[in-house]
């Protein structure tokens, strides 16, 4: 029997009491479809990205998440399709989701305005039979066995960028429009009055690329703001990012994330790198070190990413980042 220490069991109860939401990623800027269905087709080719995240290394039962996404414009360029598949494991619980997306992308002069919708289908499951608890907690944590629940939802978003130079982007999305209680699933402790829920939450992203078009070094600041119902004091979380781009092939950056037990003061600091191996293949790595109280009992979080763009029509793939150094 797999051992799950009582520390992570208590952590799971805390997480479910606050909210049951989608997993977070440090390199979300390289996988925009996960945040916003309107991102579909923004690379103007069939683009695929896979990401794996191991959070809170050193804690048994800590989150491990895999995410795969694919998106592409259709033959009529103003339409695009996308698909995201995610598998998230946290202690005794697992969620597996499939999220198809559709985007309508009218071109207004040199600006691309994309409006997207998505439908998510998530399967939540729990196997408390793998838990090994101290006798002190056996009476309180009485859930033994398996429970599952299928939860559909819908989401929408808008994404704006300049089509040719890709100097800026702005996006707003609501991944879950329908609040949903997980009470009937018994994923939460039945002896606890707190009920796990899928809350509405709202995401705002934006960024800009500074530097000459043919410059060797460019600078890209960006921000992600998230407001979620049910957060303590209703304070939004922020990811503030700064990234340098070298010869349009290597990206090195850092992020500061607010939230956690300190809310607005900070949850973690993140370092990341992405490298273009070929004009089509890119890989990335990110390390997250916590600054909250929980950071003292774990060794940080690791995340890896691999992406590939299929040039099914090179004439349509017009972007300066590949024009000079390959």
Tell me the two tokens of residue 198.
């899928």
Threshold 0.85, pTM exceeds: no
Q: Residue 19's closest CA among 196, 184, 200, 154?
A: 196
- Residue 101: Cβ within 10 Å count: 26
Question: Measured between alpha carbons, how far is 149 from 183 in angstroms, rounded to an integer?
Answer: 10
Q: Residue 34's closest CA among 175, 201, 159, 161?
A: 175
Rounded to 5 degrees, what are φ and ψ at 52? -130, 135
Domain limits of the chain? 6-322
Low-confidence residues of the chain: pLDDT under 70:
1-23, 58, 61, 128-146, 164-165, 180-198, 230-233, 260-266, 291-298, 312-326
The domain at 6-322 falls in which architecture? Beta Barrel (2.40)
Question: Which residue(s) pair with 36 in the sheet?
Answer: none
Question: Which residue(s) pair with 198 in the sheet?
Answer: 180
Per-residue pLDDT, 120 = 93
Question: Measured between alpha carbons, how far is 147 from 183 in angstroms, rounded to an integer?
Answer: 11
pLDDT tens for each residue of 114-151: 999 999 999 988 776 555 555 544 444 444 455 788 88
Question: Measured between alpha carbons, how far is 231 from 19 in angstroms, rounded to an integer?
Answer: 8
Per-residue pLDDT, 44 = 86
DSSP state of 297: G
Per-residue pLDDT, 261 = 52
Distances from the Cα of 57 to the Cα of 51, 74, 299, angstroms: 17, 41, 5
Is the CB of residue 238 less than 8 Å from the CB of residue 255? no
Helix (H, G, I), strand (E, B) or coil at 266: coil
């Amino acid at each position: 029997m797999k051992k799950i220490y009582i520390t992570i069991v208590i952590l799971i109860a805390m997480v479910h009491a606050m909210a049951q939401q989608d997993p977070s990623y440090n390199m979300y800027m390289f996988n925009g479809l996960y945040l916003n269905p309107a991102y579909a087709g923004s690379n103007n080719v069939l683009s695929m990205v896979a990401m794996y995240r191991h959070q809170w290394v050193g804690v048994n039962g800590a989150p491990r998440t895999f995410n795969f996404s694919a998106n592409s414009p259709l033959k009529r360029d103003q339409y695009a399709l996308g698909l995201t598949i995610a598998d998230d494991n946290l202690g005794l619980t697992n969620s597996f989701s499939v999220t198809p997306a559709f985007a309508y992308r009218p071109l207004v002069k040199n600006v691309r305005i994309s409006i997207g919708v998505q439908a998510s289908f998530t399967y939540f499951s729990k196997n408390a039979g793998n838990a090994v608890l101290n006798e002190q907690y056996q009476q309180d944590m009485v859930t033994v066995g398996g429970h599952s629940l299928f939860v559909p939802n819908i989401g929408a978003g808008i994404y704006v960028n300049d089509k040719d130079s890709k100097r800026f982007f702005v996006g707003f999305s609501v991944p879950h429009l329908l609040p949903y209680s997980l009470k009937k699933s018994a994923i939460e402790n039945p002896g606890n009055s707190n009920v796990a829920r899928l809350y509405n939450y709202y995401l705002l992203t934006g960024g800009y690329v500074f530097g000459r078009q043919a410059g060797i070094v460019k600078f890209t600041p960006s921000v992600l703001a998230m407001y979620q119902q049910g957060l303590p004091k209703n304070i939004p979380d922020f990811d503030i990012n700064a990234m340098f781009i070298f010869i349009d092939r290597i990206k090195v950056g850092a992020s500061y994330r607010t939230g956690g037990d300190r809310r607005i003061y900070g949850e973690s600091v993140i370092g990341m790198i992405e490298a273009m191996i070929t004009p089509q293949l890119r890989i990335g790595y990110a390390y997250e070190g916590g600054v909250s109280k929980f950071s003292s009992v774990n060794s940080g979080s690791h995340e890896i990413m691999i992406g590939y763009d299929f040039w099914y029509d090179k004439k349509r793939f017009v972007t300066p980042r590949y024009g000079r150094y390959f």
